[in-house]
Amino acid sequence: MTIMFLITRGDSIGGAQIHVKDMAKQLQEDGHTVFVSFGKEGIFSKVLKENDISYRVIGNMVREINPFRDLLALKNIVTEIRSIKPDMIAIHSSKAGILGRIAAKITGTPVVFTAHGWAFTEGIANKKRLLYQWVERAGARISDKIITVSKYDRNLSLSNNIGTEENTIAIQNGMYDIEDDLHATPELSPPNIIMIARFQVQKDHIGLIRALHELKHLEWHLEFIGEDGGLMDKAKKLVSDLGLEGKIDFLGNRSDVVTLLSRSQIFVLTSFWEGFPLTIIEAMRAGLPVIASNVGGVNEAVVDEEMGYVVSSHEELVSRLKLLISSPELRAKMGKKGLTRYKENFTFEHMYHKTLAVYTELISSRQ
């Protein structure tokens, strides 16, 4: 079969882009024809090129709402669909989600929309939440299937009258295995703490910095991995104001995340909202204990007090960090349990076969 993937951005890389790349790569290896389309070239298009995955740039498709450019982008997507003639379109991210589903309706092409976390989830401002609820209800009416990356998001969708029990499927994220020599050694001291997240309003880098400031008397080091989404300078200033320059580093975007995880001892993800973070799966795959905010589908991955901690307050974050920083044995025990849970539930094979079944069933039903 021929599948067209559509995602808004090619100049950034996050969970949605990694998902698309992994799916496209495996589909090609299984003999299917794949095209990935997006709005602007950049780091993601380089990754696709390295993996020999064909991609095309959709002119005028931008993340921001711009009625004139959005209409032009819609026209370009329709042209692209008619050129490729895919058996189905797999759409990811909000802007591509709306324009792509309209284009699929215009061309009569089967379409699956994957929501990597809803833009109306808890933690989003009320006005934005209401707007996105309305937009996604409209989009759901022209979706053949909707995939959510967590059970939490499926329930959130249905409780907001977006999609139906029949066409909305939860398929939790999964990732490829790594070599054993890339597994971490959590018991090493002093521990290196790592957080992988773009510096944007969704993530709470500031909360983690403040929590660790209360533990500055302990031995630890923190590495922030991720590009600047407008809030990196604020985080750097706070580190300077609190006198933590020697204990916290900002490494920016990195292509060696797997290696950086293998050299770390604790993974942390502090967020105001989430879908089902791939970075947590990466950390569990590396054998790291995880501390993460209790939002979205996080507690579907991390079982509290087994492979890490799911925290709901600043005080909890401080106390759980103190526990793991101070106990090499606990880090090792939790890291081992996290690795086992990854292997049993969150490998790429789990996700791929469930997703492929959705694609195949949809195409067969429309023939």
Query: Which tens digits make up the pLDDT trace of 341-354?
Result: 999 999 999 999 99
What's the half-sphere exposure (Cβ side, CA atoms, 13 Å) at 341? 24
Given the structure tokens 């284009």, which residue do they identify? 103
Token duo for residue 177: 């295995």
pLDDT of 245 reads 95
Residues with pLDDT less than 50, the chain: none
Closest by CA to 297, choosing from 276, 270, 267, is 276
pLDDT for 221: 98
Q: For tokens 């401080």, name the residue.
A: 318
pLDDT at 119: 84
Q: Write out the DSSP string of 225-242.
A: ES-BSS-HHHHHHHHHHT
| pLDDT recorded at residue 12 | 84
pLDDT digits (tens, 9 = 90+) for 102-127: 999 999 999 999 999 888 887 777 88
CA distance 268 to 220: 13
Question: What is the structure's pLDDT at 143?
Answer: 95
What is the structure's pLDDT at 125? 78
Question: Exposure of 350 by Cβ count < 10 A (0-12 exposed, 13-18 middle, 19+ buried)?
Answer: middle
pLDDT at site 123: 76
Task: Walk me through the domains of the chain, giving residue ranges and CATH numbers.
Answer: 2-176+348-365 (3.40.50.2000), 180-345 (3.40.50.2000)
- C-alpha distance from residue 133 to each of 15, 90, 120, 124 (Å): 22, 21, 6, 11
pLDDT of 149: 93
The pLDDT value recorded for residue 366 is: 81
Q: What is the pLDDT of residue 275?
A: 87
Please give the DSSP secondary-structure letter assigned to residue 192.
E
Q: Is 354 helix (H, G, I), strand (E, B) or coil?
A: helix
